[in-house]
Each structure stands twice: as structure tokens, then as C-alpha cells.
Amino acid sequence: MYDAGKIIVGLVIFLLLITAPVWYNAASGQASYAPHLEIVTDAKACVAPTDYMRTSHMELLNTWRDEVVRHGEREYTAFDGTVYEKSLSNTCMGCHSNKAEFCDRCHDYMAVGRPYCWDCHVEPKGGSQ
């Protein structure tokens, strides 16, 4: 090895740099912050089991989108038997009318970026943050 010392110091600095967000979060207490989600509805359940919704609502939305637009199938029978219209603005947002404190809050928290759907689909009054 030519300059083992320098290389090790360099590596340590590099590691510190790439893990910076972790340290930053730990120091600022962000990691323990969990978002409070405003569901805004009297309904007991979502259109699918909550676990599924939490992880896979985007897939459900994509399926709805293709079924409605491409196949003209607009009705959705939920796991509890309720029939819903497959619609982002008219169904999801009917129950989750506080987009800012539900969808946006979780997306921001998970740092996944806000979906572009709202370029076209109209969000309920009250708007985003």
C-alpha cells in the first residue's frame, strides 16, 4: 500500500458523508417523528385492508385507472362487499378529503415525492400544503 493512512482517513470521511442524513435525523430528532394522518371519514374501513392500502395503494390506483379508462369498468367491489366507483378524485378523496394532511403528509414523510396525478385530477377544496 502506498498511503494506507490517507486512504483510511479518506474512507472514514466518505462514510461519514454518505451517512450524513442518518446522523442529521438522529441529531434533529426527526427519526422518532411519525406523521399524523387525517383520514376524515366516518367509514371504518378503506376500500381494501389497511395494510394493503398502506403499501400498495399505487398499484390499486393504476389498476383502477386502466380498468376505467381502457376497459370501461368503473365499479369496484371492496373486500367488505361495498361497491365503489373506481375514481381517484371522487372515491379516494371523498373519504380522504384532506389531501394535505393525508396523502401529502405521508408522501413527504416517506420522501417518495408527490405523485403527478394532481396535474390533472382535481384535488378536494382545501388544497395541498
Partner 1 sequence: MSVDRRKFFKIAGLTALSLASKPAFEVFAEGVDPVDSTATIPPPTTQPTGPLTAHRWAMVIDIHKCMAEHGCTKCIAACHLEHNVPDFGNPKDEVKWIWKESFGHAFQEQENEHLHEEMKHQSVPVFCNHCDNPPCVRVCPTKATWKREDGIVMMDMHRCIGCRYCMAACPYGSRSFNWRDPRPFIKEINPKFPTRTRGVVEKCTFCVERLAQGMPPACVEACTAQAMTFGDLEDANSELRTALRERFSIRRKAALGTNPEIYYLV
- What does the per-residue mask of binding to ligand HEC show for 59-78, with x meaning CB under 6 A? -xx--xx--xx---------
Binding-site string for ligand HEC from residue 19 to residue 58, where x marks contact by CB under 6 A and - marks none: ------------------x-x-x-x-xxx--x--xx--xx
| Partner in contact with 97, chosen from ligand HEC, partner 1, none, beta carbon below 5 to 8 Å by kind | none
Identify what 31 binds: partner 1, ligand HEC, none; CB under 5 to 8 Å per kind.
partner 1
Number of residues forming the site for ligand HEC (CB under 6 A): 41
Of 3 and 119, the one with the shorter C-beta distance to ligand HEC is 119
Look up residue 23 and give its three cell numbers.
446522523
Q: How far apart are CA 63 and CA 25, in angstroms?
A: 36
Rounded CA gap, 67 and 59, in Å? 12
CA atoms within 13 A on the CB side of 3: 5
Scan for cell 390499486, then name that residue.
60
Query: CA 116 to CA 58: how far, in whole Å?
Result: 12
